[in-house]
């Protein structure tokens, strides 16, 4: 059994009078049971505070937290049956790995639910799940960072919580270990089917693991949607530039029909793209989001954008060209195959835009 969480206009300030800066400023979110949700944003965006309020480690200044429709805003942390995986692992240094994992099964509320033999069996079952059964007798300081994080995960999961909270759990691990742990987490989420609520500032991590991402900034949720929606159809310029490396050029909505929209880019060139943003009115100034992978070199002609090469960077897998578009429209990046003849600085080029991937930003 799993449960979902609903946040209703959740707010938090650390200033006692409720007048200062809001760490979390009106978060509304519905997190479905069994989902893997990520709160993504730079440090200070309120993602960790939101998570800690869900856990009960912080008290909201106002707003509500519902679990399966029941208000749990004032429920004590010890009764919430949600387990948190901390960034610094928070393993009990005086206990062995086995004792750490068993801790949650020995608390008063669990009394009588498991016999000592069952506790042992369960502990080993979850140590197996995270591949650490051989290290049961060790103390935390004898483990590597990745092992510590897996103990902390086993300790959280062993009590069979319906919701598991993660506060930047991979933040202190190196890049390769992080990749391995990401795959582990996806596997464990799939095997156990619990609701995972995950906090990170790493967008690759968020994209790779989550079923939905909430992009946060300044205590507010900028956009909440699937990784694909967030990447392809960002709600605003902030999300577009935070996720991936989108370049946004100035454009004007010239016209729209059933087949698509015509945009004037900069002060001159026109291109046609598929309709993707109903909020953009004809005549309105908009931002046109162009990602490097959606652009390609083309012979100059209709529906291409002219520009000239400003810089080229050899990346091994591809050559990255920085192209300044004609008519002061802005700069875009483009990836070209390495076996094509190299273009010099200042070379005039024409770019084809994938009409289904270019995205119109109103805000």
Partner 1 sequence: MESVASTVLSAGARETAVRSARRLDRRRMLFWVLPPVAWFSVFMLIPYALLLYTSLGKVEDMRFIPGLSLDNFIRVFTVDPYLGVILKSARIGLMTAVFSAVVAYPLAFFLAFHVRSSRFKFLIYLLVIVPWWASYLVKAYAWKTILGSGGILNVALQKVGLTDEPVRIFLYNEFSVVMTLTYIFTPFAVLSIYAQLERIPTSLIEAARNLGAGGWMIFLRIILPISVPGVVAGSIITFSLAFGDFVAPVLVGGPESVMVSNVVINLLGVAFDWPLAAAIGLVIITLGLLLISASGWLEEKTQTRF
Residues that bind partner 1 (CB under 8 A): 55-57, 77-84, 86, 88, 90-95, 103-104, 107-110, 139, 141, 155, 159
CB of 156 to partner 1, least distance (A): 8
Residue nearer to partner 1 on the CB measure, 76 or 283: 76
Residue nearer to partner 1 on the CB measure, 99 or 275: 99
Residue nearer to partner 1 on the CB measure, 120 or 139: 139
CB of 12 to partner 1, least distance (A): 16
Q: What is the 3-state secondary structure (H, E, C) of the chain?
A: CCCCEEEEEEEECCCCCCCCCCCEEEEEEEECCCCEEEEECCCCCCHHHHHHHHHCCCCCCEEEEEECCEECCCCCHHHCCEEEECCCCCCCCCCCHHHHHHHHHCCHHHCCCCCHHHHHHHHHHHHHHCCCHHHCCCCHHHCCHHHHHHHHHHHHHCCCCCEEEEECCCCCCCHHHHHHHHHHHHHHHHHHCCEEEEEECCHHHHHHHCCEEEEEECCEEEEEECHHHHHHCCCCHHHHHHCCCCEEEEEEEEEECCCCEEEEECCCEEEEECCCCCCCCCCCEEEEEECHHHEEEECCCCCEEEEEEEEEEECCCCEEEEEEECCCCCEEEEEECCCCCCCCCCCEEEEEECCCCCEEECC
CB of 282 to partner 1, least distance (A): 54
CB of 42 to partner 1, least distance (A): 22
Residue nearer to partner 1 on the CB measure, 151 or 239: 151
CB of 55 to partner 1, least distance (A): 6
Residue nearer to partner 1 on the CB measure, 36 or 89: 89
CB of 158 to partner 1, least distance (A): 9
Residue nearer to partner 1 on the CB measure, 158 or 351: 158
Residue nearer to partner 1 on the CB measure, 57 or 331: 57
CB of 75 to partner 1, least distance (A): 12
């Amino acid at each position: 059994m799993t449960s979902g969480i609903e946040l209703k206009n959740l707010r938090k300030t650390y200033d006692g009078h409720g007048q200062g800066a809001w760490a979390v400023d009106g978060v509304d979110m519905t997190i479905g049971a069994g989902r893997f949700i990520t709160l993504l944003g730079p440090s200070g965006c309120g993602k960790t505070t939101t998570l800690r309020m869900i856990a009960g480690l912080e008290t909201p200044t106002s707003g509500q937290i519902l679990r399966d429709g029941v208000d749990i805003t004032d429920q004590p942390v010890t009764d919430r049956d949600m387990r948190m995986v901390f960034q610094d692992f928070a393993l009990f240094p005086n206990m062995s790995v086995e004792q750490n994992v068993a801790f949650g099964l020995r608390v008063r509320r669990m009394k009588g639910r498991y016999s000592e033999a069952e506790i042992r069996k369960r502990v080993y079952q979850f140590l197996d799940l995270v591949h650490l059964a051989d290290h049961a007798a060790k103390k935390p300081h004898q483990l590597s960072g990745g092992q510590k994080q897996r103990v902390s995960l086993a300790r959280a999961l062993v009590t069979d919580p319906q919701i598991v909270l993660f506060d930047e759990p991979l933040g202190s691990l190196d890049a390769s270990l992080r990749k391995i742990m990401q795959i582990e987490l996806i596997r464990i989420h799939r095997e156990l089917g619990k609701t995972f609520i995950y906090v990170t500032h790493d967008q690759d991590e968020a994209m790779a693991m989550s079923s939905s991402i909430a992009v946060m900034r300044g205590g507010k949720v900028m956009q909440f949607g699937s990784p694909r929606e967030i990447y392809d159809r960002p709600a605003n310029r902030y999300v577009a530039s935070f996720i991936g490396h989108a370049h946004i050029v100035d454009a004007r909505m010239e016209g729209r029909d059933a087949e698509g929209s015509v945009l004037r880019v900069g002060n001159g060139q026109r291109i046609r793209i598929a309709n993707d943003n109903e909020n953009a009115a004809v005549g309105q100034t908009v931002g046109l989001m162009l990602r490097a992978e959606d652009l390609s070199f083309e012979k100059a002609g209709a529906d291409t954008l002219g520009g000239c090469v400003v810089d080229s960077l050899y990346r091994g897998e591809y050559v990255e060209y920085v192209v300044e578009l004609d008519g002061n429209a802005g700069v875009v990046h483009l990836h070209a195959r390495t076996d094509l003849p190299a273009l010099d600085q200042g070379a005039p080029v024409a770019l084809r835009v994938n009409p289904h991937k270019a995205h119109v930003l109103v805000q």
